[in-house]
Amino acid sequence: MAFPQTVTMSHTATTTTLENSAPLYQRAPRRDEDGRPLSDFMMIIPQLRTLPPRLIQKKIERIQRVLADFSNLVVFADLNLKINVLWVIVRQSPGACIEIPSAISSVIPEALLVAHPRFC
């Protein structure tokens, strides 16, 4: 089983697209349905793309479960397998950009938080 370069999880992590798509800047939302700005964070999952496909799929499923647990906050997520980067867009909520990455790290210990804004 060959994996595409990008795995996109959107609409509160309920829809998963496992195919190459338009550039991320064209797909990622910037504001919620009420016009409020969204926030984001990025994580690196070292050597993810080098794993066997069944292990990649298991890790994707773990990420999806965590994002589903935070479906009230998660608006969009993109896992770029080519560069091993998970980018998650969330509704602004105090602590969300620490709590969600912590939950992801609890199920994928090698996942590292790279960047998040101060106001998230």
Q: Is residue 1 part of a domain?
A: no
Q: What is the mean predicted confidence (pLDDT) over 70-96?
A: 93
Q: Is residue 77 part of a domain?
A: yes
Residues 6+ away with beta carbon under 8 Å from 54 = 1
Q: Is residue 120 part of a domain?
A: no
Query: Domain total for the chain?
Result: 1
Q: Would you say residue 11 has pLDDT above 60?
A: no
Domain assignment of residue 60, given as a range: 6-115
Q: Would you say residue 26 has pLDDT above 90?
A: no
Q: Is residue 86 part of a domain?
A: yes
Q: What is the DSSP letter of 100?
A: H
| CATH code assigned at 56 | 3.30.70.100
Q: Is residue 32 part of a domain?
A: yes
Q: Which of 5-19, 27-41, 103-117 has the lowest mean pLDDT?
A: 5-19
Q: Would you say residue 3 has pLDDT above 80?
A: no
pLDDT score, position 107? 98
What is the crossing angle of helices 53-69 and 96-107, to 10°? 140
